[in-house]
Structure 1
Amino acid sequence: MTTEAPASRNADTEKPIHIDQRIFDLYDEYCHGYMDRREFMKRCGAITVAGVSGLVMAQALLPRYAEAQTISFTDDRITPSYVTYPSEGGTSGEMRGYLVRPAGDGPFPSVLVIHENRGLNPYIEDVARRLGVLGFLALAPDGLYPVGGYPGNDDKGRELQKGLDQAALTTDMLNSARFLQAHADSSGKLGAVGFCWGGGTVNQLAVHMGDDLSAGVPFYGAAPDSAQVANISAPLLIQSAEKDDRINAMWPDFEAALQAADVSHERHIYPGTMHGFHNNSTPRFDEEQAALAEERTVAFFREHLS
């Protein structure tokens, strides 16, 4: 197995840029709020590899959402819309989400799509559309809606989400799940998929929703408290990156708790990948492994939500 970091492209020259693993490691810290953008750029600027500045590599890592869209919002297989709904006990008492309804007659199996730690960005909306064209009623809630919504900028989104009461934010996601499950176009069978912060939140939904959640797919998400795992009824498909020390360190305790509680689960580790490998808007994206993870996710939902 190769350990060479993935290559990106210089926006001006279109020449491949090989990104040093140290830059990826700093980006992971930056994405998770352990440093601000200025510190990230400063530390990247101190690195030079084969004449390429770390600043150039850092710029190549920033998301390019327009290039990452895979399903158009005008695709005739779906009808997307923004919907608002009550969220008692949440951040403000009201939430908004991106609802994607498949074409044809319902009801449809439903899937909640939970964003990363920066609000409902275009990548997550695209994931909801991907599920929509496959016949799932998908809702991607925006946890930042009570504070103005996703600001169109990941840095600002990250700061906004970090400043929220985290218990209230989790309640907003629970209420979003219940809204989707009760929707007129929903069959009542509910799944949830989430990425990074959203992956950890899928685990929290599994803890709190019991039988109301029929399937959960956390992508590189934080494990719940081991003492709470016995409350999980939903089968889990746990998607893990190979090079993700922080999340993977939680697995032994999580696995032991799942086994002790006899929770149905399977875990896949995707070789050569880093945290965020499913997100096709940055060079951490691994096309082959992301496609495999997505294939397994859809099959898992078809099995448990039919």
Structure 2
Amino acid sequence: MELTRPDGSMPEDFHLSRRAVTGMFFAGYALAAVSADAAPITTSSEGLTIEEVTIANAGPGGLPAYVARPSGAGRHPAILVVNEVFGIHDYIKDICRRLAKLGYVAVAPDFFYRSGVNLPAQTDMQAIMATVRQASEAQVDGDVQAATRWIVSRPFARPGKVGITGFCWGGNVVWRAAMIDPNVGAGVAWYGQLKQLIARAGELKAPVLGLYAGKDQGIPLADVEAMRAALKAAGKTNAEIVVYPDAGHGFHADYRASYDATAAADGWSRLIAFFKAHGIA
């Protein structure tokens, strides 16, 4: 590491904010969750353009984001990718590359950048959750809208609505985005918390596919059924919830012990079909 000042470095020189430094997204999988036995999917960047960008938002310095998109000229449909509590690490980046290989512009913002904490490098879950709680719903929802506005303004993005998908913490963000963001055309939520959203089912404006686990210890099936009932009562026929009875929370996360290859593959197929059915293709 080189000194950043003639008289030596100061602590703030090594603050982990991405505001002024590129290439700062964590290289590797979230240390608090990665399994020693995992064999995660790795998607090549060949034929893709990979960028780290800063998106204008209401926060300090702008919103850092990882972008994967098909190389070359042309406009492509776009999907916003929302991370779990571990921030932007190799799993989330690979999700972006998988989508880019399918012809999408995939954008994964770092919603926790304000904290200056390198979340994927943390191993203490209590400390991780303390950082996550600093990001209020209003702040995150504002960042989502800043990101979708940025996407639709890009010359490589197809005009029109964008899709959004998210995992765990990000799954909850997907449901909210489909309620409040006019640029969102469809969402796919992977095991996102529902309890606080059930009463808001009538606010849903964009179609959402919810993918849930029958053996999730953190999201009771009672909440899933209550959300289904609330959506039906509100006449939200464009929303759908699928439950994988034998899977647990985090079943799509191929770097974790919770990974369920069968449920993950089926959910991914449903994601592709759902976006296509709702014009994100």
Change (3 A) 1:69 1:146: farther
Is 1:98 matched up with 2:66? yes
1:104-157 Cα shifts (integer Å, max 9, x gaps): 432111100000112112111111110010001000111122233644414365
Unaligned runs of 5+ in 2: 1-30
Superposed, 1:192-271 pairs within 5 Å as 192-210=164-182, 212-223=183-194, 224-247=196-219, 248-263=221-236, 264-271=238-245
**CA–CA distance in structure 2, aligned partners of residues 297 and 154 of structure 1:** 30
Residue 146 (structure 1) aligns with: 114
**CA–CA distance in structure 1, aligned partners of residues 211 and 108 of structure 2:** 19
Asked whether the 8 Å contact 1:142–1:149 carries over to 2, the reply is no
Asked whether the 8 Å contact 2:75–2:157 carries over to 1, the reply is yes
Asked whether the 8 Å contact 1:203–1:216 carries over to 2, the reply is yes
Q: CA RMSD in A?
A: 2.4
**Amino acid aligned to 1:142:** D
Q: TM-score, normalised by structure 1?
A: 0.72
Residue 276 (structure 2) aligns with: 302
Larger CA deviation: 228-237 vs 276-285: 228-237
Residue 147 (structure 2) aligns with: 176
**Amino acid aligned to 1:85:** I
Is 1:288 matched up with 2:262? yes
**Amino acid aligned to 1:244:** D
Q: Secondary structure at the match of 1:217?
A: strand
**CA–CA distance in structure 2, aligned partners of residues 227 and 266 of structure 1:** 17
Residue 89 (structure 2) aligns with: 121
Q: TM-score, normalised by structure 2?
A: 0.78
Residue 43 (structure 2) aligns with: 71
- The structural deviation recorded for 1:261 is 2.3
- The structural deviation recorded for 1:284 is 0.6
Residue 157 (structure 2) aligns with: 186
- The structural deviation recorded for 1:303 is 2.1
How many pairs are equivalent? 243
Change (3 A) 1:262 1:93: farther
Asked whether the 8 Å contact 1:121–1:150 carries over to 2, the reply is no
**CA–CA distance in structure 2, aligned partners of residues 199 and 60 of structure 1:** 19
Asked whether the 8 Å contact 1:120–1:150 carries over to 2, the reply is no
Residue identity (%): 33
Change (3 A) 1:96 1:284: same
**CA–CA distance in structure 1, aligned partners of residues 40 and 122 of structure 2:** 15
Larger CA deviation: 160-169 vs 251-260: 160-169
Q: Secondary structure at the match of 1:96?
A: strand
Q: Which has the higher strand share?
A: 1
**CA–CA distance in structure 1, aligned partners of residues 111 and 37 of structure 2:** 19
- The structural deviation recorded for 1:193 is 0.4
Aligned with residue 133 of structure 1, among 73, 83, 101: 101
- The structural deviation recorded for 1:209 is 1.5
Larger CA deviation: 178-187 vs 268-277: 178-187
Residue 86 (structure 1) aligns with: 56
1:35-76 Cα shifts (integer Å, max 9, x gaps): xxxxxxxxxxxxxxxxxxxxxxxx99644699524213xx22
- The structural deviation recorded for 1:181 is 2.8
Superposed, 1:147-166 pairs within 5 Å as 147-148=115-116, 150-155=118-123, 157-166=128-137
Asked whether the 8 Å contact 1:119–1:161 carries over to 2, the reply is no
Unaligned runs of 5+ in 1: 1-58
Change (3 A) 1:151 1:221: closer
